């Protein structure tokens, strides 16, 4: 069962400049940064609030580390902006299979490692009214 909006992913050309905008404009501070080599991104997670299920909601800023990454290709086509929405779940594998059973294409056969050691998968945007949708099970150590 999906429990919350985990994060909204925003693609950007310059991570440091974009982080500074969110800090100066809204007062959001960086909670976590990392480079995900598999996905070809450098990212910053800005915590917005805690949630009733023990998780949190974030803005995820994504800068591609290579042009051929999914975010790099997306930026080249669309420019900066909202890239995806992510919903939190206690069971990314089970929920993705249930959603697959309803005719929605799941992009990964097995969940992959996402930000802060989370378990993730994506749903095809053409099956989700044009919205790239991510399912996330948070790593309890974060």
The residues that are catalytic are: 7, 43, 60, 84, 134
Cβ atoms of residues 64 and 43 within 8 Å: no
Strands in 41-50's sheet, in edge-to-edge order, are: 30-36, 41-50, 56-64, 2-11, 81-89, 133-137, 119-123, 112-113
Contacts 24+ apart (CB under 8 A), 23-31: 28/59, 31/56, 31/58
The alpha carbon torsion through 58, 63, 68, 73 (nearest 10 deg) reads: 70
């Amino acid at each position: 069962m999906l429990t919350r909006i985990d994060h909204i992913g925003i693609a950007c050309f310059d991570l440091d400049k974009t982080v500074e905008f969110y800090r100066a404009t809204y007062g959001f501070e960086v909670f976590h940064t990392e480079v995900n080599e598999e996905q070809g991104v450098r990212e910053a997670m800005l915590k917005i609030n805690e949630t009733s299920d023990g998780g949190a909601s974030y803005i995820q800023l994504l800068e591609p580390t290579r042009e051929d990454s999914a975010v790099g290709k997306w930026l080249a086509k669309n420019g900066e902006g909202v890239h995806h929405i992510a919903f939190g779940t206690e069971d990314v594998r089970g929920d993705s299979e249930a959603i697959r059973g309803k005719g929605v294409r799941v992009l990964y056969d097995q969940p992959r490692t996402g930000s802060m050691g989370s378990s993730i998968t994506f749903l095809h945007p053409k099956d989700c009214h044009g919205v790239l949708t991510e399912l996330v099970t948070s790593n309890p150590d974060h």
